[in-house]
Each structure stands twice: as structure tokens, then as C-alpha cells.
């Protein structure tokens, strides 16, 4: 040991000597005895003065003691370690004088080694025990402090519940919320038939008695059995603050639930919409549009959901999710164009009818097409995944459509109700918003039964807000508890009705989410896409999206002609679409082509052929302008090629399918197929009579395509 120390001390540039360096009982003793032996033998052989070994040992003992003091070792540990150094040094000095290679020297060295080992083990154990005891004492002090606080809370609430509700509860536990905004009390009800809802009904009086700040409540809910009650007490009013949509846009799933906002304890609240529909009520200015955006944000983040939005109110709910992508204003990180944040947006009556009819067709086709899958999975609920996504129909002011006496609206209403009625098992659910027509909507049995995820945004509005109808069975909810925009009440089958607030979400965040989730959106499964047909495949066609672009901005134009803070849509107005290609049109055309090349799996016929064959797969089809050089027959042929999938098809089959609608003959189709093979649209597989053509999206050498 002393040799190592001296060597290290001598080498000024060597590693810094660590007196506190750890040794186990065996390695410590071994290192000490072998070190001492080595020094003694070399010292004796080189006639080194024995006093040196003693000096080094004393220095070692001192160094170790100082290091030990620094890390607060116990006195006995310090003594044992210093003792080891001194005994070692003593033996080395003696052995150098009397010769280290005698039986007496070797025997005594071995004894010293065992002794040092035993002493080290004992001191190590002692140090560990000391450390554990110190930690435990610290924990005991914290717990004592906490439990004193908890005991005080418990005693206070036992008195309060007795005073206000005349019920003598026994508090079993008090838990402070991690968010620091309140606590929960778990209490046992007295024998004799007291129930938790007696306490729940006195929520307002309890809150007043507890002198809680405005917006904070004491709400009771059932405990682990009927003789227990949980009282949640909020002490910080998080509803008052404006909180922006969380910046984490990570993937979500229908099955993990979609967060819609947060509770008074600042914890997020999720909706589970596999089987449930949702109803959101909020008068004008209550923050309903903002909430719809938060909801669309969650749906966009999901990997197994496709969002179809009906918004007959100038598209204000859906447009911010479509226009930035449609106008090519944002790009993904790799510079590629992005897909819109919603999968389909209907802003006109006709488009809404088309969407709802498509939804019904998809539901029916899924029922037939997935019989095997359902049998295999032994379920009657279609297993939703990224491959078979859930379709979420978000209908802004849908409740008003349901309640409208207008003939046209009744037609829409019938279809909405049909979707709600038939499509639960097949993975299509709806989110309806309402300005306030809750009475007539909630009297509808279908809505009452299917839409149990409910939100009432109050935003300070007290007129016409009947919370007992929205949340039957809930007591103690008062509109004036949530007088803030974006705040209100929310109840789901998993979480009883209570105060809630939506995150604030601004257009910048919507753009960020569109960009962040563009690659994540699923594609409509083939069974559904076949049923959805051209009505779905052509949803982004120019004639159908013209209403989105034909919007005269109200703001003053800026220098470059773009209204301040608005999107530059002038280039896209309908009348200009009809003109010869302007630079803007050219830019748009290129964007559409780019986006099709990237994501497009849909055919692109411009003229609808009602009886024509449906396309095979879904996807964006923004290349409406591209079709100018293609004939409708040729476009339908392309659709057939796509529909044929990996199997492919041949000229005769295509010609047969087109004969009725277009009178196309086989020879013409052969010509198109040849062109498509040359320009890479199609791939020819096999020869002679076995030759067939496969669209490039389904070609075997295209990994990742299906």
C-alpha cells in the first residue's frame, strides 16, 4: 500500500491520489498486504531505510482520515482505516529490518491481512447502516410533516361535512394532487344509509364553507364501494388561466383516447370514441370553434382515425385544417408537400349529402367485407387500426341540422341519424356540435343513447343552458362555476360530469400540427375505399373544392395584394381557375401533381361516371387540373387499373368495363396501356395471353405501396 502511495505521490503528473477511493474487504486487505510485502522485499533488497515505510504509512493514515472526515464517516470507520495504514506500515518497517522472507514475517502479514479484511467489512456494514438510517430519518420527518397537514385537512373536512350535510364521515386518506392545484379526500360514510350523492348535492355550500376561491369546487363522487365517498377539492382556479394546446404533437390512437382539454386539477381529460358519439353544446362566443379545433388536432394526431368534417357555416371549423396544405403554404421537414389535417371537408349541402351517403355505404360494405375478420377476431366490433381506420364525422352545428324543420336539412338529418344508428360496430362515429338546440336534440333517443361524451361550454352564458338535461344524474353543477371562454362541463362514460376547459389553439399551432401529422394519417382501407368510390376519391377535385378557394377576403390588402394575416387565395378563385394558366395556377398545378405523386392512390377522372367502376384505394387526388389532357374514358381506365390492385388487369377486361359508358374498344385500351407502361404509370407483368398490367402503386418492386 505504501509503495503505491509513494509511487503515485512521486509521479507529479500521474492520477490524483484518492484517499477515499473505495475498497471492498477482500480487495482492500489484499492490496494492503501485497503492497506492504512488495515494499518490504524491495526495501530490504535495496537497503532502503525502514523509517521511510513508517513515514509513508503515517501519511496514508492521515490522508484517509481527512478524506473520511470530509465524507462524514463515523469515528470508528476513521479509526479502523487509519489503523490499517499504521499496522501495515509498522509491519513493513519491522520486516525490512528483520527480513521479510521469514515464516514469522509471512505469518504475521497473513494475520494482518485477515484482520484488515474483517475490520473493513465491519466498517463498511456500519457505514451502510448509518446511511440507511439517515435516509429513513429524513423520510420520517417528511412523512410526519405531511401527515400533520393531512390530519389537519381531514379534521377540517370531517367538521365541514358534519356542519353542511349533517353526515359524520371518517376520513380514510387525503391525497394531494401532483399538479399542486388541490387534493382528494377518501372518506367512509356512517352506517345508517348515508349516500355519497347527499354530499355531492351540497357541493356549492361545501365550497362556500371552505372559502374556496372563485372557480374552485368541492365535488363528491362515489368511492371504492357504496359506503365510501371521494371529495375532490380544487384550491387553484386553473379554468381562469388561458392554457395553449400542449406542444407535444406525438401520435395518439382511438384506443388510447384523445385529450379534449383539462379538468380543474389540471389533468387532461380523454375521450374514448370507439363506440361513443359526442355532443358539444356552446352558445356563440363560448369557445366552441376553438374546442372543435382542439378536437380536430387530437384526431389529426391519431394514427387510426380519419376525420370527415361537415361545416355548412362557411367552413370555419374545417378550413384552417385544409387551406394551408391545399395552398402549399406549409411543407414537411423533408420539404415534401403535406396532406390536409382532415381527410374530407364538406362545406356545402351537396357535399355534405355525398359525405353522409358515402359513410353509410362504407359502414354497410365494412359489415360485409370484414365478416371473416370479425369471425377470426371473435368480435362484432370491427377491430380499428391504422389499416382499418375509424372515421370520425365532425358535424359543426349538427344538432341544429337535426332540429331543423327545413326540408333539405331534414334530409341531412336523416342521414346523420342513419350513420349514428348503423355504423357503431363498423367504426364510424360522430361529433355533433350545437349552439343550444339541446332540448329537441336530447329528446332524440338515438342521441341520448349513442352520444354519451358530452360537453357544455358555458363561457359565462347562463341563458338556455340546461345542465341537468346534458348530464342527467349529475348534481351540483352550476353554469356560474365556469364563467370563462372555453370553459364548461364535460362528462364521458369513464369520467362523470365536472368542470373542464379546452386548450386555446391558434392558427400557427394548427399549421404545425398539419405538418407534424401529415405522414401519420391512415389511408382508407380498400374495402371502404371501394364502397366510397369516386365520390370519395374525387373529394379534392377543383370543382368540389372551389368553394374553399372562392372566398373574398374582407381585410385590407397589404402591399403585395395579400390581405393582412390572411391566406393568399386570390389566385385560386373560381373565375381565375377557368382562365388560362397564370403563374399561380401553374404553381398550384405543380403542387397538386407533387402531392399526388407523394400520397395519391386515387384515380383522377374529372367527369364523374355514376355507374363507372369504383377506384381501388383512397388517398389525395388533388390533380384535377392535370386531367385536362386525359379523356374521361382514359381516366376511368386508369381507375380500373388502380382498382385491379396487385393482381392487375388486361386490355380486354378494361375495354369490356368501359364499353357501355364510353364505347371504348380494346385497341384503344391497348394504346393507353402501352403509353402508361412507357411513362411508368403502369407495369406489364407476364407475356402473351398471360400479360397483365399493374398500376405502379401496386407494382411488386414498389416497396411500401399496396
Ligand X SMILES: Nc1ncnc2c1ncn2[C@@H]1O[C@H](COP(=O)(O)OP(=O)(O)OP(=O)(O)O)[C@@H](O)[C@H]1O
CB nearer to ligand X: give 282 or 315: 282
Distance separating the N- and C-terminal Cα atoms of the chain: 72
Subset of 232-271 contacting ligand X (CB under 6 A): 242
Q: Does 286 bind ligand X (CB under 6 A)?
A: yes
Residue 572 · residue 583 · CB < 8 Å: no
* Dihedral class, residue 261 (left if φ above 0, else alpha if ψ from -120 to 50, else beta): left
Name, in order, each residue with C-beta under 8 angstroms of 335's C-beta and a sequence gap of 6 or more.
Answer: none
Q: Which stretch binds ligand X (CB under 6 A): 105-113, 285-293, 350-358, 511-519?
A: 285-293
Name, in order, each residue with C-beta under 8 angstroms of 646's C-beta and a sequence gap of 6 or more.
Answer: 694, 698, 700, 706
CB nearer to ligand X: give 200 or 453: 453
Does 282 belong to an annotated binding site?
A: yes
Binding mask 466-495 for ligand X (x = CB under 6 A): -------------------xx---------
The per-residue DSSP string of 511-551 comes to: HHHHHHHTTT-----HHHHHHHHHHHHTTT-HHHHHHHH--
Report DSSP state, residue 495.
S
Pairing relationship of beta strands 305-310 and 390-395 according to DSSP bridges: parallel
Q: How far is the CB of 258 from ligand X (least distance, A)?
A: 16
Q: How far is the CB of 244 from ligand X (least distance, A)?
A: 8
Subset of 493-532 contacting ligand X (CB under 6 A): 501-504
Q: How far is the CB of 482 from ligand X (least distance, A)?
A: 11
CB nearer to ligand X: give 289 or 649: 289
Q: Which stretch binds ligand X (CB under 6 A): 278-286, 325-333, 401-409, 509-517?
A: 278-286
Binding mask 610-629 for ligand X (x = CB under 6 A): --------------------
Q: How far is the CB of 396 from ligand X (least distance, A)?
A: 9
Does 8 belong to an annotated binding site?
A: no
Does 288 belong to an annotated binding site?
A: yes
Q: How far is the CB of 242 from ligand X (least distance, A)?
A: 4
Q: How far is the CB of 282 from ligand X (least distance, A)?
A: 5
CB nearer to ligand X: give 188 or 240: 240
Among 23, 160, 288, 538, binds ligand X (CB under 6 A): 288
Identify the CA nearest to 339 among candidates 572, 516, 542.
516
Q: How far is the CB of 358 from ligand X (least distance, A)?
A: 27
Residue 456, strand partner residues: 281, 489
Q: For residue 231, what are the CA distances in angstroms to 3, 161, 196?
A: 70, 10, 9
Does 6 belong to an annotated binding site?
A: no
Please tell me the count of residues contacting ligand X according to CB under 6 A.
15
Q: Which stretch binds ligand X (CB under 6 A): 15-23, 283-291, 335-343, 522-530?
A: 283-291
Residue 283 · residue 461 · CB < 8 Å: yes
Which residue, judged by CB position, is nearest to ligand X in the bound state?
486
CB atoms within 10 A of CB 129: 11
Q: How far is the CB of 270 from ligand X (least distance, A)?
A: 17
CB nearer to ligand X: give 245 or 370: 245
CB nearer to ligand X: give 239 or 442: 239
Does 580 belong to an annotated binding site?
A: no
CB nearer to ligand X: give 242 or 414: 242
Q: How far is the CB of 283 from ligand X (least distance, A)?
A: 7
Q: What are phi and psi of 374, to 5 degrees?
A: -65, -40
Instruction: Reduce the DSSP state of residue 344 to 3 states and report it.
Output: strand
Among 181, 203, 234, 289, binds ligand X (CB under 6 A): 289
> Which residue's C-alpha cell is 484517499?
19
Q: How far is the CB of 179 from ligand X (least distance, A)?
A: 18
Q: Does 282 bind ligand X (CB under 6 A)?
A: yes
CB nearer to ligand X: give 238 or 588: 238
CB nearer to ligand X: give 162 or 284: 284
Subset of 352-381 contacting ligand X (CB under 6 A): none
363-395: string of b/e by CB count within 10 Å (b at 16+)?
Answer: bebbbebbeeebeeeeeeebebbbebbbbbbbb
Q: How far is the CB of 370 from ligand X (least distance, A)?
A: 38
Chain centroid to CA 76:
56
Report d(CA 653, CA 649) in Å as an integer: 7
Residue 613 · residue 636 · CB < 8 Å: yes
Identify the CA nearest to 272 among candidates 289, 284, 287, 256.
256
Does 286 belong to an annotated binding site?
A: yes
- 170: cell is 371518517
Residue 231, strand partner residues: 185, 220
Does 287 belong to an annotated binding site?
A: yes
CB nearer to ligand X: give 471 or 503: 503
Q: Does 113 bind ligand X (CB under 6 A)?
A: no
CB nearer to ligand X: give 283 or 612: 283
Q: How far is the CB of 486 from ligand X (least distance, A)?
A: 2
Q: For residue 23, what are the CA distances in angstroms to 117, 122, 484, 573, 650?
A: 10, 13, 64, 81, 81
Pairing relationship of beta strands 487-491 and 498-501 according to DSSP bridges: antiparallel
Dmax (CA) of the chain = 120
CB nearer to ligand X: give 63 or 436: 436
Among 49, 107, 213, 285, binds ligand X (CB under 6 A): 285
Residue 177 · residue 167 · CB < 8 Å: no
Binding site for ligand X (CB under 6 A): 242, 282, 284-290, 485-486, 501-504
Known binding-site residues equal 282-289
Known binding-site residues for ATP equal 282-289
Amino acid at each position: 500500500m505504501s509503495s503505491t502511495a509513494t509511487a503515485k505521490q512521486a509521479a507529479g503528473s500521474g492520477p490524483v491520489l484518492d484517499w477515499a477511493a473505495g475498497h471492498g474487504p477482500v480487495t482492500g486487505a489484499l492490496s494492503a498486504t501485497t503492497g506492504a510485502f512488495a515494499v518490504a522485499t524491495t526495501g530490504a533488497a535495496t537497503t532502503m531505510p525502514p523509517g521511510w515505510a513508517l513515514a509513508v504509512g503515517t501519511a496514508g493514515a492521515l490522508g484517509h482520515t481527512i478524506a473520511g472526515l470530509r465524507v462524514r464517516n463515523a469515528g470508528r470507520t476513521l479509526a479502523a482505516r487509519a489503523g490499517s495504514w499504521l499496522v501495515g506500515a509498522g509491519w513493513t518497517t519491522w520486516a525490512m529490518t528483520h527480513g521479510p522472507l521469514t515464516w514469522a514475517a509471512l505469518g504475521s502479514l497473513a494475520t494482518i491481512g485477515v484482520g484488515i479484511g474483517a475490520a473493513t467489512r465491519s466498517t463498511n456494514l456500519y457505514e451502510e447502516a448509518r446511511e440507511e438510517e439517515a435516509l429513513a430519518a429524513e423520510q420520517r420527518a417528511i412523512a410526519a410533516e405531511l401527515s400533520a397537514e393531512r390530519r389537519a385537512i381531514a379534521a377540517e373536512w370531517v367538521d365541514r361535512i358534519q356542519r353542511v350535510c349533517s353526515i359524520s364521515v371518517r376520513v380514510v386518506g387525503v391525497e394531494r394532487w401532483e399538479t399542486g392545484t388541490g387534493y382528494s379526500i377518501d372518506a367512509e360514510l356512517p352506517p345508517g344509509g348515508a349516500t355519497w350523492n347527499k354530499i355531492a348535492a351540497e357541493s356549492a355550500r361545501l365550497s362556500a364553507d371552505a372559502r374556496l376561491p372563485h372557480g374552485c369546487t368541492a365535488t363528491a363522487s362515489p368511492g371504492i364501494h357504496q359506503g365510501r365517498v371521494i371529495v375532490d377539492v380544487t384550491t387553484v382556479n386553473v379554468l381562469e388561466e388561458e392554457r395553449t394546446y400542449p406542444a407535444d404533437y406525438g401520435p395518439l390512437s382511438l384506443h388510447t383516447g384523445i385529450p379534449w382539454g383539462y379538468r380543474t386539477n389540471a389533468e387532461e381529460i380523454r375521450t374514448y370514441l370507439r363506440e361513443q358519439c359526442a355532443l358539444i353544446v356552446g352558445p356563440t362566443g363560448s369557445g366552441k370553434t376553438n374546442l372543435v379545433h382542439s378536437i380536430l388536432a387530437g384526431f389529426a394526431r391519431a394514427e387510426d382515425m380519419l376525420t370527415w368534417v361537415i361545416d355548412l357555416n362557411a367552413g370555419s371549423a374545417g378550413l384552417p385544417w385544409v387551406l394551408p396544405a391545399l395552398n402549399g403554404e406549409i411543407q414537411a421537414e423533408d420539404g415534401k408537400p403535406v396532406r390536409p389535417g382532415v381527410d374530407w371537408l364538406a362545406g356545402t349541402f351537396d357535399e355534405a349529402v355525398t359525405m353522409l351517403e358515402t359513410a353509410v355505404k362504407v359502414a354497410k360494405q365494412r359489415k360485409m367485407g370484414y365478416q371473416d375478420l370479425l369471425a377470426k377476431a371473435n368480435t362484432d366490433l370491427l377491430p380499428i387500426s391504422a389499416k382499418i381506420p375509424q372515421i370520425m364525422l365532425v358535424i359543426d352545428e349538427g344538432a341544429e341540422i337535426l332540429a331543423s324543420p327545413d326540408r333539405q336539412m331534414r334530409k341531412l338529418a336523416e342521414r346523420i341519424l342513419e350513420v349514428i344508428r348503423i355504423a357503431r360496430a363498423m367504426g364510424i362515429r360522430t361529433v355533433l356540435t350545437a349552439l343550444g338546440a339541446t332540448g329537441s336534440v336530447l329528446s332524440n333517443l338515438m342521441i341520448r343513447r349513442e352520444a354519451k361524451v358530452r360537453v357544455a361550454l358555458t363561457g359565462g352564458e347562463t341563458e338556455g343552458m340546461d345542465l341537468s338535461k346534458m348530464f342527467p344524474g349529475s348534481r351540483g353543477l352550476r353554469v356560474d362555476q365556469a364563467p370563462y371562454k372555453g370553459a364548461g362541463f364535460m362528462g364521458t362514460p369513464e369520467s362523470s360530469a365536472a368542470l373542464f376547459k379546452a386548450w386555446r389553439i391558434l392558427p400557427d399551432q394548427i399549421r404545425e400540427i398539419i405538418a407534424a401529422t401529415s405522414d401519420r394519417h391512415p389511408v382508407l382501407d380498400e374495402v371502404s375505399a371501394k364502397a366510397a368510390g369516386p365520390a370519395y376519391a374525387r373529394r379534392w377535385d377543383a370543382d368540389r373544392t372551389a368553394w374553399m378557394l372562392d372566398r373574398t377576403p374582407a381585410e385590407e390588402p397589404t402591399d403585395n395584394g395579400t390581405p393582412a394575416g390572411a391566406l393568399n387565395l386570390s389566385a385560386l378563385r373560381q373565375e381565375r381557375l377557368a382562365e388560362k394558366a397564370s403563374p399561380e395556377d401553374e404553381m398550384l398545378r405543380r403542387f397538386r401533381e407533387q402531392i399526388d405523386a407523394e400520397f395519391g392512390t386515387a384515380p383522377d377522372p374529372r367527369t364523374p361516371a355514376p355507374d363507372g367502376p369504383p377506384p381501388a384505394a383512397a388517398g389525395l387526388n388533388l390533380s384535377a387540373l392535370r386531367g385536362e389532357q386525359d379523356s374521361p374514358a382514359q381516366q376511368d381506365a386508369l381507375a380500373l387499373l388502380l382498382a385491379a390492385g396487385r393482381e392487375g388487369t388486361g386490355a380486354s377486361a378494361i375495354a369490356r368495363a368501359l364499353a357501355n359508358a364510353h364505347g371504348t374498344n380494346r385497341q384503344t385500351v391497348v394504346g393507353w396501356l402501352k403509353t402508361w407502361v412507357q411513362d411508368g404509370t403502369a407495369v406489364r407483368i407476364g407475356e402473351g395471353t398471360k400479360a397483365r398490367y399493374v398500376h405502379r402503386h401496386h407494382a411488386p418492386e414498389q416497396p411500401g405501396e399496396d
